Amino acid sequence: MAGCCAVLGAFLFEYDTPRIVLIRSRKVGLMNRTVQLLILAYVIGWVFVWEKGYQETDSVVSSVTAKAKGVTMTNTSKLGLRIWDVADYVIPAQEENSVFIMTNMIITMNQTQGLCPEIPDKTTVCETDANCTAGSAGTHSSGVATGRCVSFNGTLKTCEVAAWCPVENDTELPKPAFLKAAENFTLLIKNNIWYPKFNFSKRNILPNITTAYLKTCIYDAKTDPFCPIFRLGTIVESAGHSFQDMAIEGGIMGIQIKWDCNLDRAASLCLPRYSFRRLDTRDVDHNVSPGYNFRFAKYYSDPNGAERRTLIKAYGIRFDIIVFGKAGKFDIIPTMINIGSGLALLGVATVLCDVIVLYCMKKRYYYREKKYKYVEDYEQGLGNQMDQ
């Protein structure tokens, strides 16, 4: 108990103040200056030069529109000679920060609602009606089972379903891609950015770009890095993939636009930087359900007034446009905060050298005697003398 009271009394009634001791030691002096130099290099080189710690920063606010262009022709036994333009292969016509280009498809024409045999697989092949459950509708079925086992072809029977007939057969995907010419289609990207903190705005169609130039330029990372028109094949190949392989099953590509602007410099130096990467990166060892596809239908009525539709399972590449970046401009507040932090860090050199001198060197006890001096309370000592 007495020991605790002594510790508490020392804590409450003792006061320590720094004492300056000049130690003439080459090792300690060199270590002190080295640490100080490293701290100064960090503050000046990293904080102020590289990270621009003297600037206030703001994140980009962005809007994006994209427009595809390109025409191609196909000639197949099912569709005959057909021209494909933007209205045919861009689905839907507008998306937010994205555009989907159909490159491959499975088409089922002239479907009507009725009864028809299901596509053969391990769950639909049957021998008698007993193998089919009436009213069942699995997640992968084309319709609702009637409970009957009917002929699919001359040698095979499957369960009958009430569905849009004939049902879709997507077991074989067209190779090469149906619209393989999409490799040469182009995509015009219009990107407007705004830094609200600095009230600074700009767009990726730069002031020096003319209408005539825009009609002829195609983006090239080396020769034309600021052209906002991109060839689809170039986008995919820049990310290290084959367009023709990706066009078969579809996928998702990211078009990244980076705006890093130093507003202490001229506004003309604030420029977009483009990069590309595949967002649905395929794992060769776990390649389950690859690519990107969806279904849509076109409805019409035949001359008899019966409703019909053409079902299309569309495979293609979705281009997601991702805009990011920040802007910086000189401001006195972050400048003073970082200067103060740098000065405070210089104290690390003193603390480190104190630890070395007082606990690691051979003459540590001698240095401790010089470093610390204990002084009794002057008023208390004076009172004791008067009592005597």
Contact (Cβ atoms closer than 8 angstroms) between residue 228 and residue 294:
no
| 162 is an annotated ligand-binding site residue | no
| 295 is an annotated ligand-binding site residue | yes
How far, in Å, CA of 221 to CA of 224, rounded? Answer: 6
Q: What angle separates helix 347-359 from helix 26-41, to the nearest 10 degrees?
A: 150
| 182 is an annotated ligand-binding site residue | no
Count of alpha carbons within 13 angstroms of residue 101, beta-carbon side: 36
| 362 is an annotated ligand-binding site residue | no
| 298 is an annotated ligand-binding site residue | no
| 110 is an annotated ligand-binding site residue | no
Kindly give, in sequence order, each residue whose CB lies less than 8 Å from that of residue 109, ignoring residues fewer than 6 positions away.
78, 310
Tell me the three state secondary structure of residue 377: coil
Write the DSSP assignment of 18-73 as a string of letters. Answer: --------HHHHHHHHHHHHHHHHIIIIIIIIIS-TTEEEEE-EEEEEEEEE--EE
Contact (Cβ atoms closer than 8 angstroms) between residue 53 and residue 47:
yes
| 68 is an annotated ligand-binding site residue | yes
Count of alpha carbons within 13 angstroms of residue 17, beta-carbon side: 1
Residue 309, CA distances (Å) to 139, 216, 235, 298 in order: 22, 40, 35, 5
Rounded to 5 degrees, φ, ψ at 148 are -105, 145
Kindly give, in sequence order, each residue whose CB lies less than 8 Å from that of residue 239, ignoring residues fewer than 6 positions away.
253, 276, 277, 278
Give the chain's length.
388
Smallest CA-to-CA distance from 132 within 115, 118, 114 is with 118
Position of tokens 């830094």?
A: 195
Contact (Cβ atoms closer than 8 angstroms) between residue 220 and residue 227:
yes
* Residues annotated in a binding site for ATP: 67-69, 186, 293-295, 313
The binding site consists of 67-69, 186, 293-295, 313
